[in-house]
Amino acid sequence: MKPSTTKNQAAIKLVGVSKKYEIHHEKPTLVEKFVKGRNETFWALRDINLTIKKGERVGIIGPNGSGKTTLLKIIAGITTPTSGVVETNGKIVSLIDLEAGFHPDLTGEQNIFLNGMLLGMKKGEIEDKLDAIIRFADIKQFIDTPLYTYSSGMKLRLGFSIAVHSDPEILMLDEGLSVGDADFQKKSWEKIQEFFRKKKTVLIASHILEYIQKTCRRIIIVGKGTIAEDGNQKLIGRYQRGDYV
């Protein structure tokens, strides 16, 4: 990923971005017992050109397998494109995989330092925010126990808390706020509202169209690895009518 150095650049710019996967198929039949398998080429994204301005709230919608999550992962640097150029201007934090970067044998506190540094935080910054991260995740009594003893919900809360306290300029979410119980979801939503008020750039991929309608002014419809439409909230109604199936 190449950072932008030009003043007033867009927060995110993709030029000719494509992503290809090789899918291996096994052939277990007797006739084909000497054939180890065959590879099929699958294009998750094809020739994506996209510019997102600083402070925009962008909702990405589309059917399963359309390429939404792949698009977010490429922007976040989790996955590299097969071809094309990705430029970003600002610190990115992705809430796509909240447990990425955790080590099961380390304690919760040790994982805060590990995950925080992976997100670009300095040790001193993590130390300053440590109590706030623990308090927000509501895991104080377990903070000195190994992560493998945590429930899935505890790990997700911890991952979310570290991410939002890393003070990103670009925030990326997949499927909205489905982290933890109702109380934590409410607290998470309030935290996201802070990002909106601070004019952060936010990208959300979700099937929950009411959530997209409530949070995003710009809508991008992804279909079969391409951008089918890019416009305002009126696109949600057209998508609901099945115009892009």
Most confident of 62-71, 139-148, 187-196: 139-148
CA–CA distance, 172 with 107 (Å, rounded to integer): 26
Radius of gyration of the chain (CA): 20
4 has pLDDT over 50: no
Which uninterrupted H or E stretch holds 60? strand 57-61
**pLDDT grade, residue 99 (50/70/90)?**
confident
Q: Please say whether the beta carbons of 200 and 171 come within 8 A.
A: yes
Q: Which of 92-101, 170-179, 195-204 has the lowest mean pLDDT?
A: 170-179
Burial class of residue 175, CB neighbours in 10 A (0-12, 13-18, 19+): middle
Say if 22 falls within a structural domain. Answer: yes
94 has pLDDT over 90: no
Q: What is the mean pLDDT of the chain?
A: 86
Q: At 202, is the secondary structure helix, strand, or coil?
A: strand
Say if 107 falls within a structural domain. Answer: no
Say if 189 falls within a structural domain. Answer: yes
125 has pLDDT over 90: yes
| CATH, residue 62 | 3.40.50.300
| Amino acid at position 21, single letter | Y
Say if 137 falls within a structural domain. Answer: no
CA–CA distance, 31 with 223 (Å, rounded to integer): 37
Say if 152 falls within a structural domain. Answer: no
Please compute the mean of the pLDDT values over residues 66-78 and round it to a whole number: 90
Say if 98 falls within a structural domain. Answer: no
Q: Which of 27-36, 73-82, 104-113, 181-190 has the lowest mean pLDDT?
A: 27-36
Say if 164 falls within a structural domain. Answer: no
**pLDDT grade, residue 37 (50/70/90)?**
low
Say if 125 falls within a structural domain. Answer: no
231 has pLDDT over 80: yes
244 has pLDDT over 70: no
Count of domains for the chain:
1
Q: Which residues make Cβ contacts (< 8 Å) with residue 139, sequence separation at least 6?
A: 108, 150, 154, 157, 158
Domain that holds residue 17: 2-90+169-240
Within the chain, what is the greatest distance between any pair of CA atoms? 65
Q: Which of 28-32, 122-126, 146-150, 215-219 has the lowest mean pLDDT?
A: 28-32
| Amino acid at position 209, single letter | L
Query: Which of 186, 173, 13, 159 is closest to 85 using CA atoms?
Result: 13
CA–CA distance, 77 with 79 (Å, rounded to integer): 5
